[in-house]
Structure 1
């Protein structure tokens, strides 16, 4: 139990940006921070390294970062798997599940202007679609993909106007699910992922230009 707790605590800290790509993770500091002994921390770090979320810099373990090609690969896989989840959800989601998704879109409008909160809400929305696919193997694969999304140093929802656009795209997905139209749901979700990727590329280009 303690090992799983240590793994979950470190993973969540990376996910919410407490540890960003390139930051060093020190065993004894993590043990002190989370109130866990060093053995489960060490095992959790090894597991995260195996999964590619941590990488070695000399003798130190640091939070991994994604290069341009890895980012492209991640978004390609994400679009295909999430598109499949939406198509299956259109077929298998209960009326209640679709209603919850619709309620999320309405409630999340209050978060526009707060990219961090909107990012967490976006993750909840996507997770709900994954679950609504009612395919446990697909959910497992999407969990891995979204774990890798934690290695992105910022959210594309921080771009000006992206929050409003993303919620409009969410609304289109929900409408297709409500109609039980698998093809439309898949297409709407793929458009949503494509727009997010495009925004992230623009943000990265602007950051590189600033650094140059």
Structure 2
């Protein structure tokens, strides 16, 4: 995680955050999914972990189906992008520990909410 950030990545991170917030404002589920994918791709790229990038690309079509259901439901896009902002801001400040904690929190919340939403649909 220490190598994930350099100052040259700052404009790219700010651009991805703006794109995400713009997608939230449009209320377009596909725009939200696309912006989310691009955000996560950026983080994987910054990490320099080809295995992670390839695994996510391979499985993205499965993840996208779940996300399509979730973004139309009760999951708050605003919450996700606030979490994304916290991650990027921590990385831009060089606070790797804060970024890691923000990532763990984001992943945990998203996982719980996604599972709950999908279970509710089956009931």
TM-score normalised according to structure 2 size? 0.80
Match of 2:116 in 1: 202
Task: Say yes or no: does 1:170 pair with 2:84.
Answer: yes
- Tell me: CA distance 1:135–1:155, structure 2 relative to 1, closer, same or farther (3 Å): same
Task: Say yes or no: does 1:109 pair with 2:30.
Answer: no
Q: Distance in 2 between matches of 1:188 and 1:158?
A: 24
Q: Distance in 2 between matches of 1:188 and 1:142?
A: 20
**What is the total number of aligned residue pairs between the two structures?**
121
Query: Which segments of 5 or more consecutive residues in structure 2 lack a partner in the other structure?
Result: none
Q: Which has the higher helix share?
A: 2
Displacement of 1:92 in angstroms is: 3.9
- Tell me: CA distance 1:111–1:208, structure 2 relative to 1, closer, same or farther (3 Å): same
TM-score normalised according to structure 1 size? 0.50
Task: Say yes or no: does 1:134 pair with 2:41.
Answer: no
- Contact 2:70–2:114 at 8 Å: present in 1 too? yes
Q: Which moved more, 1:179-188 or 1:142-151?
A: 142-151
- Tell me: CA distance 1:203–1:135, structure 2 relative to 1, closer, same or farther (3 Å): closer
Displacement of 1:177 in angstroms is: 0.5
Instruction: Kindly indicate whether structure 1 or structure 2 has the higher relative contact order, using CA contacts under 8 Å at least 6 residues apart.
Output: 2
Task: Say yes or no: does 1:98 pair with 2:10.
Answer: yes
Displacement of 1:188 in angstroms is: 0.9
- Contact 2:33–2:64 at 8 Å: present in 1 too? no
Displacement of 1:171 in angstroms is: 0.4
**RMSD value over aligned CA atoms?**
2.3
- Corresponding residue to 2:103 among 189, 195, 204: 189
Greater radius of gyration (CA): 1
